[in-house]
Amino acid sequence: MTKPKVASDWLAGCAGCHMSFLNMDERIIELTKLVDLRATPITDLKEPDEEGVDVGILEGGIANSYNEEVAIRMRKRCKILVALGDCAVFGGVPAMRNFAGAAEALKRAYIETESTDGSGMIPNDPELSVAQHVRPVSDVVKVDVFLPGCAPSADAIYYVLSELAQGRMPKVEGEFNNWH
Amino acid sequence: MIQLTVNGKPVEVETGSTILDAIRKAGFNVPTLCYHPKLVPYGSCRLCLVEVEGARTLQPSCVVPAANGMVVRTDTDRVKSARKFVLSMIFSERNHFCMYCQDTDGDCDLQQAAYDEGMTHWTITPAYKPFTVDASHPDFILDNNRCILCRRCVRACTELVGNATLGFEERGSGSLLIADNNVPLGESSCISCGNCVQFCPTGALIDRRSAYQGRETDLTHVNSVCMDCSLGCERVVKTRDNRLVRIDGNEDIGFNDSLLCYDGRYKPLTEDRDRITSPLVRRNGQLESITWDEALSVISAQFKAHDSSEINAHISPRQPIEALSAFHEFFADHFQVGEVTLLGHDQTALACAKLAAEIGAFESGISTLKDCDAAIVLGTDMVKDHQVAGFFLKRQAINDLKMFTANSTHTKISDWSSNKLEYIGTDYPAVVNLLESYVKGDAADLSTQLQNLSLNPERAQKVLGNLKENQKVVIVVGKEFARVENLPAFRKLVELAREIGAKVVTLKGQGNNFAGAVFGYEMDAQAKSAPVFFLALGDDQACDHTRDALAGSEFKIVQASYESAVTEMADIVLPCTIWAEQAGHYLNSDGKLGLNQQAIQAAEGNRSVLDVLKILASKSGLTLSETWRAAVEEKVAAIVLS
């Protein structure tokens, strides 16, 4: 039996959810016996296999056009998509800027901050992605498993992945359902 | 009784019960947000919707009365999906992101409701509309972004506290929680009792001191009674890492129904006086640190060097009964010192004890104030002192409670009622004579009496004209009136009350003033200077009288928690535990015992009044008895009606 392939990526998040994934410590060895860990931000392979993976994991919300692209690509290449953490599930901390708007947030960050010397400007290279209204992943693509938390505990992540690896849909409830 | 079925189970409830009452009595539950057992049901959140057979729509169970033969279902798919939809709508309306809220993980009813429904995400995108935040108040912040419009705060402010500061402006999803006519909360009529914060189910009312200091489950909860006045409100002190974090009203026990005033909730957390950290002795005019052994030896030597009549002992009523009892036993019974007195000017407890000795038990409990037709308040300002008892009158005054107040200065409590009569002055015997005239109805000189007290005859007739016919008259007696010199008038008042079936409630100063009277302390700050003056001040502040008595004494022993003018002048200072660092009982106005449990550990070097007394007693070859309960209960029964 081939092991299910798992890939992950991060969008507008803080990497904390991936840190929490690593917090499962030695259980990660157990997990690699169950799954084939493919592209992740903390492995060498950076893009999920073109031929597809079984489980895709996304940390972070959709805050710009690049996040949107990555989310759509992951959705296309995975069978089951997991939204990992409060930012992926709800929009999270980056979504705070929605109360003022992306333009206001950029102005504050690049021009009005106390440490800016008056010559501040908002980066406008056409190569750069365009800031958007921050959305949860499920506003852009279909999400199959929501694992909220800031960050979700290592136990919760281990539970979800080990269930998926064994062909079951995890039930996120009790202590694993934590909105923080 | 009404009979109905809930989820197929028959249940019987009293007439007037709601469907929610029946559901809970049948052993089921539905989630609620706007519902609170201490408030009138309101039905705004729609979370408690249930299916009632024959009804076209789902029914809000918290407001719909239970009826005979009703068939109620709480567990159908229709109910469950409506519940999730209601929650989704609430989450989408404002900023309900848990990850940047201070009120999470068991502290927030909204979050808990989502967990209970198994929600892992939101199905409706939030509106991201910013609402106003009012951070003008020193004790709490009002964040409309976190508000679910349940109005529990508004209802607590009006229905329970009777202050009616909080209200709403605008309509529907744009509704805003405001103070008065939309003034900043910090400049409003708010009395900072903080009950709204305790009643808020979400993070919309943020307690400044406990915000981000840990979840409720991270804090250690300890039962306490407030000793700031004689009501002895039951409260819960919440601590973390030996720090006082928050104080809330106790929702399970006490006459106060979880209500507290500023003095009980916030004042203890604002303490900024400097602590005394070591025993001090005066040498060459300066206070210097010494060891406890040295300090206690100096005190014992002073006691030995003087005749006991040359020693006066004075203690704060903020000390627990255990300390008051031991203090009296040690100084009055064993030593028979010159005087054993209690700090403060309030003679109410003493006057009540003296009066009861003449005419028998006459007092009713504070809870009497919760339901009355007419209130006569003599010699106390219930907006300033004994505030929670004042809440009981204020909240009825809004509904035109008849109110007669007599006090040397204007008391704000009378402003609440439009049906009021106010006498400003101190001629209490004349006030009692006036009441007698109205009760007997045969005074020929009524108009002269009214004129002498500058009272409007029409208004007086309206408020006092038919006292006899009123079913529930309550007479509140406080410190200005209940003085030993007013005993004849007090006696006449109680006899009048008995005649018309009115209840008499007395407010007895602070902390353990009542216990002090029971133990036989002189209550009226008759403390006089003496060759040796022992002042057990604890965390209290000395009044002018005490300060003068101490200043005129030769050798001054002060047991105090904080530096002050009296510790500055002392010859020996003993560092003392504060209320939260010691356990002990308090006897409230009703004669009920409350236990203040120890909430935090004192820093090394602090000792309680009681512990020091025990050491001093053993140095004198005495053992203190430590039994007081039976004596207290017996004496209370002679004063307060059971």
Chain B nearest-CA distance from A88, in A, is 10
Contact A91 B130 (CB under 8 A): no
pLDDT at B30 over 90: yes
B138-142, B465-469, B541-545, range with the lowest pLDDT: B465-469
For residue B218, give the 3-state DSSP assignment: helix
Q: ∠ CA A126-A127-A133 to the nearest 5 degrees?
A: 80
CB < 8 Å to A105, chain B: none
- Phi, psi dihedral angles at A154 (to 5 degrees): -55, -35
Q: How many CA atoms are closer than 13 Å to the CA of B534, on its beta-carbon side?
A: 29
Chain B nearest-CA distance from A63, in A, is 15
Is A140 an 8 Å CB contact of chain B?
Answer: no
Q: What is the model's pLDDT at position B337? A: 82
* Average pLDDT estimate for B155-171: 96
The yes/no answer to whether this complex scores an ipTM above 0.85 is yes
* Average pLDDT estimate for B368-394: 95
Q: What is the model's pLDDT at position B34? A: 97
Residue B156 in contact with residue B196, Cβ under 8 Å?
yes
Q: Beta strands B2-6 and A145-147: pairing type?
A: unpaired
Which of A91, A133, A177 lies closest to B120 in CB terms?
A: A177
CB < 8 Å to A58, chain B: none
A69-107 residue pLDDT tens: 999 999 999 999 999 999 999 999 999 999 999 999 999
Angle, helices B609-619/B292-305, rounded to nearest 10 degrees: 60
* Average pLDDT estimate for B553-561: 96
Size of interface A-B (CB pairs under 8 A): 57
Q: Which amino acid makes up residue A59?
A: E
Contact B114 A179 (CB under 8 A): yes
Q: What is the model's pLDDT at position B470? A: 74
Q: ∠ CA B350-B389-B519 to the nearest 5 degrees?
A: 25
Contact B121 A138 (CB under 8 A): yes
- Percent helix, strand and coil across chain A, each to the nearest 5: 40, 20, 40
Q: ∠ CA B10-B15-B17 to the nearest 5 degrees?
A: 75
Is A172 an 8 Å CB contact of chain B?
Answer: yes
Contact B120 A90 (CB under 8 A): no
Torsion of the alpha carbons at A166, A171, A172 and A176, rounded to the nearest 10: -70
Contact B118 A180 (CB under 8 A): no
Residue B17 in contact with residue B65, Cβ under 8 Å?
yes
Please enumerate in sequence order all residues whose Cβ is within 8 A of that of A103, keeping only pairs 6 or more positions apart, or say none: A131
A122-139 residue pLDDT tens: 999 999 999 999 999 999
For residue B248, give the 3-state DSSP assignment: strand
A33-37, A159-163, B451-455, B526-530, range with the lowest pLDDT: B526-530
Average pLDDT, chain B: 94
Is A83 an 8 Å CB contact of chain B?
Answer: yes
Which residue in B has a C-alpha nearest to residue A88's C-alpha?
B121
pLDDT at B524 over 70: no
Q: What is the model's pLDDT at position B442? A: 80
Instruction: Provide the sign of the torsion angle of the four alpha carbons B20, B26, B32, B38, taken in this order.
Output: positive
Which residue in A has a C-alpha nearest to residue B97's C-alpha?
A92
B450-467 residue pLDDT tens: 999 999 999 999 999 888
Which residue in B has a C-alpha nearest to residue A172's C-alpha?
B120
Which of B98, B126, B128 lies closest to A179 in CB terms?
A: B98
pTM of the model: 0.93
Which residue in A has a C-alpha nearest to residue B131's C-alpha?
A99
Percent of chain B with pLDDT over 90: 85
Question: Which pLDDT band holds residue B642 (cuts at 50, 70, 90)?
Answer: confident
**Which of B431, B253, B229, B226 lies closest to B349 in space, CA to CA?**
B229
Q: Which of A86, A153, A179, A180 is best to mutate for the B interface (most B CBs within 10 A)?
A: A179
- Phi, psi dihedral angles at B406 (to 5 degrees): -135, 125
Is A173 an 8 Å CB contact of chain B?
Answer: yes
Radius of gyration of chain B (CA): 28
Burial class from Cβ neighbours inside 10 Å (0-12, 13-18, 19+) for residue B450 reads buried
Measuring CA to CA, how many Å separate B7 from each of B85, B142, B366, B554? 22, 40, 42, 79
Q: Which amino acid makes up residue B158?
A: T
Radius of gyration of chain A (CA): 17
- In residues, how long is chain B? 642
* Average pLDDT estimate for A3-30: 95
**Which of B342, B420, B415 lies closest to B382 in space, CA to CA?**
B415
**Which of A102, A131, A106 lies closest to A116 in space, CA to CA?**
A106
B320-355 residue pLDDT tens: 999 999 999 999 988 888 778 888 888 899 999 999
Q: Which of B90, B128, B144 is best to mutate for the A interface (most A CBs within 10 A)?
A: B128
Q: What is the model's pLDDT at position B376? A: 96
pLDDT at B487 over 90: yes
pLDDT at B106 over 70: no
Angle, helices B428-440/B457-464, rounded to nearest 10 degrees: 70
Which residue in B has a C-alpha nearest to residue A101's C-alpha?
B128
d(CA A136, CA A157): 19
Which of B104, B120, B128 lies closest to A98 in CB terms?
A: B128
Alpha helices in B343-427 (DSSP H): 348-359, 387-397
Angle, helices B487-500/B428-440, rounded to nearest 10 degrees: 20
Q: What is the model's pLDDT at position B338? A: 78
Edge-first strand order for the sheet with B2-6 is B9-13, B2-6, B71-73, B49-52, B59-60
Average pLDDT, chain A: 94
Contact A96 B100 (CB under 8 A): yes
Is A139 an 8 Å CB contact of chain B?
Answer: yes
pLDDT at B284 over 90: yes
DSSP 8-state symbol, B65: B
- Percent helix, strand and coil across chain B, each to the nearest 5: 35, 20, 45
pLDDT at A53 over 70: yes
A82-102 in b/e form (b: 16+ CB < 10 A) is bbbbbbbbbbbbbbbbbbeeb
Q: What is the model's pLDDT at position B342? A: 83
CB < 8 Å to B126, chain A: 91, 95, 98
CB < 8 Å to A83, chain B: 121
B228-255 residue pLDDT tens: 999 999 999 999 999 999 999 999 999 9
Q: What is the model's pLDDT at position A76? A: 97
Q: Prior bond to A151 cis, omega within 30?
A: yes
Measuring CA to CA, how many Å separate B243 from each of B179, B238, B324, B595? 32, 9, 27, 20
d(CA A101, CA B125): 15
Question: Which pLDDT band holds residue B523 (cuts at 50, 70, 90)?
Answer: low
